[in-house]
Structures are given as C-alpha cells and as structure tokens.
Chains A and B, each alone.
Chain A
Amino acid sequence: QVQLVQSGAEVRKPGSSMKVSCKASGGTFNSYAISWVRQAPGQGLEWMGRIIPLIDMTMYAQKFQGRVTITADKSTSTAYLELSSLRSEDTAVYYCARDPSINSAFDMWGQGTMVTVSS
C-alpha cells in the first residue's frame, strides 16, 4: 500500500531556504501529480503548487511564483518542495498530497512537515 512519507521538522532562519521531501513509500507516483499544501498555525489550508512527475510539468500558485520550486525524482518516487527567501509568515506545516488530476480531490496525504522560520 502506497504511503506518502515526508521528511522531518526543520528550523530555518529568515532569508534562508527550506527543502521538504515526500516519498511514495511502497509504490511509485505512477501518473499522479503531487501537490504541496501548507497550513500556518491556527490558519487554513493553502495550495502552493503541483508537479506531474511523469512529464516534469509544474504549476505554482501566483502567490509563491519566484520563491517556490517543486521537483521530483522518478527513480526514487520522491517529490521536493523548495521555498526561498523565508520569512516568519512561512512558518507552517507543509503537506504533500497525491493529486490524481486538476479537477479531482486529493486522495492521499503525507503526515506533514513542520517548518519554523525564526531568528
């Protein structure tokens, strides 16, 4: 049974970058996309972008354009989220989610990775 397993919690300084991984354990991505969704403490869900690993196609939310990079390594079935120029407002739990298509619901989630941005 495929599970999405994310990397552990991180603490980063303002102005630095973060990189979170999401591995499809027990299987592969197949043709699915992987989306990244974040949730600041006490706040709602925010979609950041997605990648279709099979064709390396990415889409990003306008808010994060220029600061976010989503990549995938098909050989290890691992997706990555990089966010640069971090500020305190980027403190959040970052989730990866399996994303069958643009018009579908997310059907599997990673456990979440807490990223704290603090000096």
Chain B
Amino acid sequence: NFILTQPHSVPESPGKTVTISCTRSSGNIASNYVQWYQQRPGSFPTTVIYEDNQRPSGVPDRFSGSIDSSSNSASLTISGLKTEDEADYYCQSYDNTYKVFGGGTKLTVL
C-alpha cells in the first residue's frame, strides 16, 4: 500500500499564490488519478479538483491541479488567495482495490 504525504500547514497572504504538494510513496503518481478536497471546519469535504486537473462546476479557476512524474507528486495551486480559501485540503488517490487520502494540509490565509 502506498501513502500520500502532504505538508502539515501552509501560511500565505491574501492575493498571493500557494501550491500544496502531495507525494506518493510508491507506484507512479501518473498511473491513478488524484483528487483534491477542501474541508472547512464542521463541514464535510468538497471536491475542488478531480482527475488530476479537472475543476467541478462552481469551483473558481483560481484552483488548478497538476502532476509531476519526476517528483512523483501532485500539486494543488490556488492563485489570488482569498480569506475564504482558508481550510484543510486533502489529496486522494487509489490503487486497484482501495482509496487513500493524504494527511491533509491546513491553509492559513492571513
């Protein structure tokens, strides 16, 4: 089984761009789609990126996803940060028979 490693926390200022990484421990990151979820306190997660780089309807184009095979990692980039983007972000991928979440990254916008 593989694990997905994310930074524990990322602080950034409003208007800036932040990138959150998600590194896969074994197996090829490009072999299985990566999804990204946003979770605000007291609420269930919502999808901000699916299938590596696709945005669900209603998610602003400030959110983008990418894959880097050289570092075996996925990234979530949020540009033009707003205070409302402050939340926990989780990457998630899968293998043949199971799904895996990253440990989550707390994004602080201050």
Contact = CB atoms under 8 A, between A and B. Distances in A.
Task: Note whether A and B form a binding pair.
Answer: yes
Interface of A: 35, 37, 44-47, 50, 59-62, 95, 97, 102-107, 109-112
B101 A59 contact: no
Interface string B85-110: 00010101010111111111000000
A45 B90 contact: yes
Nearest to B44: A109
A103 B94 contact: yes
B17 interface: no
Contact of A103 (B1, B32, B56, B88): B32
Interface in B33-91: 33, 35, 37, 39, 44-47, 50-51, 56, 88, 90
A104 B100 contact: no
Nearest to A95: B44
A110 B99 contact: no
Interface centre among A50, A103, A110 (most CB of B within 10 A): A103
B100 A47 contact: yes
A101 to B, nearest CB: 9
A109 to B, nearest CB: 4
B44 A102 contact: no
Given A45-B90, A104-B50, A62 B101 contact: no
Give me the 7 closest cross-chain CB pairs, A-B, nearest first.
Answer: A109-B44, A105-B50, A105-B35, A44-B104, A47-B99, A45-B101, A105-B47
